Amino acid sequence: MPAVAGTVLVTGGAGFIGSHTVLELLNLNREVVVVDNLVNAAQGVGKPASLERVERLTGKTVTFYSLDVLDKPALAKVFKQHEIATVIHFAALKAVGESVEKPLAYYRNNVNGTIALLDVMEECGCKSLIFSSSATVYGSPQSLPVDESHPTGVAITNPYGRTKFVIEEILKDLCVADKEFSAVLLRYFNPVGAHASGDIGEDPNGPPNNLMPYVSQVAVGRRPKLQVFGGDYDTPDGTGVRDYLHVVDLAKGHLAALPKSAEPGCHIYNLGTGSGFSVLQVIEAFKKASGRDIPYEVVARRAGDVASLYADSSKAERELGWRAELTIDDMCASAWRWQSRNKYGFLCTAGGGRHQWSGLIAATSAGGKRTSVLRRVGMCMGGMGSCAASVCVCVMRAVNMYVEPSEMLRPASVIFCFC
């Protein structure tokens, strides 16, 4: 069956997986609308930085709305204005460790946010959804590799995984109640890597919660060393084993699911490579890709983690015609290409034209003494060299969000900055 025609709404489309999926949709000449509250994304000059780069890579325009899916009136306006035909739903909080510390935030954002989205879809007559689920719904696996028949909701080790399980159950119930509704649940494993251009990739807000971006930041010199959580698991080298999946393969998996989203019912697929790699194996692969040493120390296990988890994705290959093509070496090489070209992520690219800015500001503090501040802040409208005064004021304001009150900068105090 052909994919649902019409506009695709991508929630959380400015994030890591979302932006790569938007790029692939645009390459298929699909009309795309993105909504994102920017919790997991960096703001650019106008649109989120990731989407500005997607537009540059594809030569096409993305319609973007800065809003939370919990804001039902605003979301309904988007549906009605653009006649949304299909939704790809990424929007969620996503850190396993953080979910253990902040369970209510995860249930509020992930579960309530999905219910709000479904309410608006029902109001607007949209009956096609592709849901970003997770292998965490399997909990601690009873057997490996894990296929879609494996029990879910049993021995889930963290609130993040439970939110994904609850949402899956809601969607199953909805498909029973509404015989015209289609929900495709994509349970994917550990997305890593970056687009081949090196222009978009994973850019966590704050310390990374996942292995690959943390390894990348150690390799590029942003962090001194990596903490390996647990060296006593029942695995070949004692460290956790996961199924790492290139984000471009994952994005293409969502495109492969579009035809299935035209078929009523609930359709469930694993997206993974079928191969597990330990933390230490990933470190070695990244050292090879980057040519850099990766200092690390083994510390206590992290709450919510399981020893091993990797996929049987043969159902997706049979029914969707999808299979992962890229290797762990490809994943590490592309992640390094992204990180080495964008040391501080989206907000630090120098060069001609309009771009995000990070650099050194020499200025006089409010207390009267000279100070230098290195921050990931602000915008620059020029090329290499000094910025316009108005832009420096913008940078100054951004710096003030990071420094102590006694060191806050005055508009007249900015002397120069290097882009």
pLDDT(378) > 60: no
Mean pLDDT of 283-299: 98
pLDDT tier, 138 (very low <50, low <70, confident <90, very high otherwise): very high
Higher pLDDT, 182 or 360: 182
| C-alpha–C-alpha distance, residues 342 and 220, integer Å | 10
CA pair distance 97, 243, nearest whole angstrom: 18
Asked if pLDDT for residue 405 goes beyond 50, the answer is no
- Tell me which residue of 350, 330, 250, 257 sits closest to 23, measured CA to CA: 250
Question: How does residue 403 score in pLDDT terms, banded at 50, 70 and 90?
Answer: very low
Q: What is the distance between the alpha carbons of residues 239 and 233, in angstroms, rounded to a whole number?
A: 6
* Residues facing residue 242 across a β-bridge: 277, 309
Mean of pLDDT values over 56-70: 97
pLDDT at 390 over 90: no
CA 214 and chain centroid, separation:
14
> How would you classify the pairing of strands 182-188 and 128-134?
parallel
DSSP states of 172-224: HHHHHH-TT-EEEEEEE-EEE---TTSSS----SSS-SSHHHHHHHHHTTSSS
- pLDDT value of residue 363: 36
CA distances from 204 to 16, 42, 208, 286, 346 (A): 9, 9, 6, 18, 10
Task: Quote the pLDDT of residue 39.
Answer: 87
Q: Report residue 204 CA to chain centroid gap.
A: 8
| Dist. CA 133–CA 89, nearest whole Å | 9
- What is the reported pLDDT for 42? 80
- pLDDT over threshold 60, residue 393: no
When pLDDT is cut at 50, 70 and 90, the band that residue 408 belongs to is very low
Catalytic choice (65, 160, 269, 344): 160
Domains of the chain: 7-341 (3.40.50.720), 350-417 (no CATH)
Based on the residue annotation, tell me whether 160 is a catalytic residue of this protein: yes
11 neighbors 66 (Cβ within 8 angstroms): no
Mean pLDDT of 357-362: 36
pLDDT digits (tens, 9 = 90+) for 302-328: 888 899 999 999 999 999 999 999 999
From CA 75, how far away is CA 126, in angstroms rounded?
Answer: 13
Q: How confident is the model at residue 97 (pLDDT cuts 50, 70, 90)?
A: confident
| Nearest-angstrom CA–CA distance, 387 and 393 | 10
> What SS3 state is found at 17?
helix
In whole angstroms, give the CA distance from residue 350 to residue 337. Answer: 16
**Phi-psi category of residue 305: left, alpha or beta, with phi > 0 → left and psi -120 to 50 → alpha:** beta
pLDDT in tens, 202-245: 999 888 889 999 999 999 999 999 999 999 999 999 999 999 99
